[in-house]
């Protein structure tokens, strides 16, 4: 079962909760049969097929239901004789925004013939004249750019193709910014440096610097995209640029800590986390998830979300690799897509979690079971449970002026990188294993010409990391947690 190719995993589901869905590679697709009496109105097609753009079966079910509901209405309209085959999906506001973008692109291109520009303007005016009442008003507002700040956010997020968790976070940040401007009666066309500066003064300057920079960065990136699409004027520049001054470094006093940055776990903390008795008031159901997940983070350098999203089919056994290789297929950057050899100490746990499971099953199925679509990510749930666990064991490092503890699940990834560096592993090899681009390296230009590191180098890096002696003695092999 382990190591099957993605296209060999594909399986159609025709009944039950997975009806209409088919897994192709790592993406779910929905297929709706068109009733015979409706086919002529839809170009004699026999079925409607649409990618759900997700490998998460719960999210695919939700999108499948919306897709099915939409087309039930279409079929009903055809049978009632009210279906309009010429009806455009875009509403008047969307059409106005599209015309704004098109005209801006034509005007900015010096190669655009005057005749073409005149023809486009005439076509836009003709469409506007064809509308009446509220539809015409919506069209004209969008044409002027008089829309909420985040009106184009969905198109922007689709264009930049971030990881699902990052996409949701970015959408939330843009919505918070938009809500403030809407409350002030300000639409996108009314925003300039003064209005943005007011927002930064009244809102961002009162936030923690990290939170403020995150929200500012989201708005700045979105505005750059708006300029390229003609939704806002390029000549005005990006009003979000330079709005927050970088915090000045202050003097460090004698009694202050020299290092207040987030850090790796110490060996003592690793020992406490992996060998302590299970704390009271902690959910027993979380024991296997947390101990297995922490061990995986410590001995592979995987991020929290990468651990949570592993599937059984992501554990491969290429020739010459009896312990297997972890395939990380999604992540926050292109460098996150990588192959990580399985550490010998992890092999029993991974084999147990893969036992008798289908390739598309989640490796940490117990983290996903019972979760409802849209109720937060499994990675977030894992992070919160891990935080409660380490606090119960007094593994913490909270400093004054810092939003969060200097140790968290990411400290396992830092511990892995630190141990492999101490073992003499080259930094470019460590970067390849943990999914860093290593662009900051003085050898980054040379590294761009290297096709890739061989598996033996990656395995040497992984196997150079050894758990603390006390952990090895108490956990030999790792805890026989249920999978």
- Of the spans 102-111, 375-384, 448-457, which averages the highest pLDDT? 375-384
Topology agreement, domain 153-236 and domain 267-474: no
pLDDT tens, residue by residue, 30-53: 888 888 888 887 777 888 887 777
| Mean pLDDT score, 56-65 | 83
- Per DSSP, the three-state class of 35 is coil
Sign, CA torsion 161/163/165/169: negative
Cis bond upstream, residue 89 (ω within 30): no
Higher per-residue confidence, 144 vs 4: 144
pLDDT tens, residue by residue, 166-224: 888 898 899 999 989 988 888 888 888 889 988 988 888 888 788 888 899 999 999 99
Q: Which long-range contacts (CB under 8 A, 24 or more apart) does 36-42 make?
A: 37/78, 37/79, 38/74, 38/75, 38/78, 38/79, 41/78, 41/83, 41/85, 42/74, 42/78
Give pLDDT, residue 8: 36
Give pLDDT, residue 13: 40
Higher per-residue confidence, 89 vs 283: 283
* Mean of all residue pLDDT scores within the chain: 79
Under 8 Å CB-to-CB from 131, ≥6 apart: which residues?
A: 92, 139
Structural domain boundaries of the chain?
A: 6-80, 92-144, 153-236, 267-474
| Mean pLDDT score, 345-374 | 82
pLDDT tens, residue by residue, 244-275: 865 545 454 444 445 568 899 999 999 999 99
Element (H, E) at 133: helix 133-144
pLDDT tens, residue by residue, 458-475: 889 999 999 988 777 665
99 close to 127: Cβ distance less than 8 angstroms: yes
Residue 149 has pLDDT above 70, yes or no: yes
As a whole number of angstroms, the distance between CA 300 and CA 294 comes to 10
Answering whether pTM is above 0.75, one says no
DSSP β-bridge partners for residue 24:
27
Higher per-residue confidence, 421 vs 140: 421
Residue 163 has pLDDT above 60, yes or no: yes
48 close to 71: Cβ distance less than 8 angstroms: yes
Give pLDDT, residue 447: 45
149 close to 181: Cβ distance less than 8 angstroms: yes
Of the ranges 10-19, 142-151, 369-378, which one carries the lowest mean pLDDT score?
A: 10-19
pLDDT tens, residue by residue, 395-443: 999 887 777 889 999 999 999 999 999 999 988 889 889 887 655 454 4
Under 8 Å CB-to-CB from 179, ≥6 apart: which residues?
A: none
Give pLDDT, residue 133: 73
Tokens of 218: 């989201």
Give pLDDT, residue 293: 93
- Per DSSP, the three-state class of 362 is strand
What is the fold, at CATH topology level, of the domain defined by 267-474? Answer: hpI Integrase; Chain A (1.10.443)
Give pLDDT, residue 9: 37
| Mean pLDDT score, 274-294 | 91
pLDDT tens, residue by residue, 66-121: 878 877 877 877 887 766 654 444 467 777 777 777 777 777 677 778 888 778 77
What is the fold, at CATH topology level, of the domain defined by 153-236? Answer: DNA polymerase; domain 1 (1.10.150)
pLDDT tens, residue by residue, 9-29: 334 344 467 888 888 777 788
């Amino acid at each position: 079962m382990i190591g099957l190719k993605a296209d060999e995993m594909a399986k159609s589901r025709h009944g039950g909760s997975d009806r209409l869905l088919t897994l192709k590679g790592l993406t779910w697709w929905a297929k709706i049969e068109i009733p015979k009496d409706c086919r002529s109105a839809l170009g004699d097609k026999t079925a409607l097929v649409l990618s759900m753009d997700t490998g998460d079966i719960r999210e695919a079910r939700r999108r499948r239901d919306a897709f099915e509901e939409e087309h039930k209405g279409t079929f009903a309209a055809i049978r009632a004789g009210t279906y309009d085959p010429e009806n455009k999906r875009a509403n008047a506001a969307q059409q106005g925004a599209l015309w704004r973008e098109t005209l801006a692109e034509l005007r900015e291109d010096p190669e655009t013939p005057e005749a073409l520009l005149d023809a486009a303007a005439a076509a836009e005016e003709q469409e506007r004249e064809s509308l009446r009442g509220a539809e015409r008003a919506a069209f004209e507002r969008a044409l002027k750019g008089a829309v909420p700040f985040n009106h184009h956010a969905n198109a922007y997020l689709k264009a930049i193709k971030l990881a699902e968790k990052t996409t949701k976070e970015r959408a939330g940040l843009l919505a918070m910014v938009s809500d403030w401007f809407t409350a002030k009666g300000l639409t996108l066309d009314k925003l300039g440096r003064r209005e943005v500066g007011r927002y930064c003064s009244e809102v961002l300057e009162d936030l923690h610097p990290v939170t403020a920079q995150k929200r500012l960065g989201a708005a700045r990136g979105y505005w750059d995209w708006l300029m390229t699409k003609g939704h806002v004027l390029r000549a005005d520049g990006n009003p979000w640029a330079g709005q927050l001054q970088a915090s000045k470094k202050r003097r460090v006093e004698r009694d202050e800590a020299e290092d207040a940055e987030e850090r790796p776990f110490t060996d003592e903390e690793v020992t406490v986390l992996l060998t302590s008795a299970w704390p009271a008031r902690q959910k027993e159901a979380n024991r296997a998830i947390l101990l297995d997940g922490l061990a995986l983070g410590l001995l592979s350098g995987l991020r929290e979300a990468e651990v949570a999203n592993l599937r059984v089919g992501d554990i491969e056994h290429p020739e010459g690799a009896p312990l297997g290789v972890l395939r990380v297929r999604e992540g926050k950057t292109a460098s996150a897509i990588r192959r990580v050899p399985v550490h010998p100490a992890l092999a029993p746990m991974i084999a147990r979690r893969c036992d008798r499971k289908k390739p598309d099953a989640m490796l940490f199925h117990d983290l996903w079971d019972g979760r409802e679509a849209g109720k937060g990510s499994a990675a977030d749930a894992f992070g919160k449970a891990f935080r409660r666990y380490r606090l119960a064991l007094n593994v913490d490092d909270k400093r004054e002026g810092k939003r969060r503890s200097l140790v968290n699940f990411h400290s396992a990834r830092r511990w892995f990188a630190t141990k492999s560096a101490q073992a003499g592993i080259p930094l470019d090899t460590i970067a390849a294993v943990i999914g860093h681009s290593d662009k900051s390296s003085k050898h980054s230009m040379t590294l761009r010409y290297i096709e890739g590191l061989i598996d033996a180098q990656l395995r040497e890096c992984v196997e150079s990391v050894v758990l603390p002696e006390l952990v090895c003695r108490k956990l030999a092999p790792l805890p026989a947690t249920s999978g």
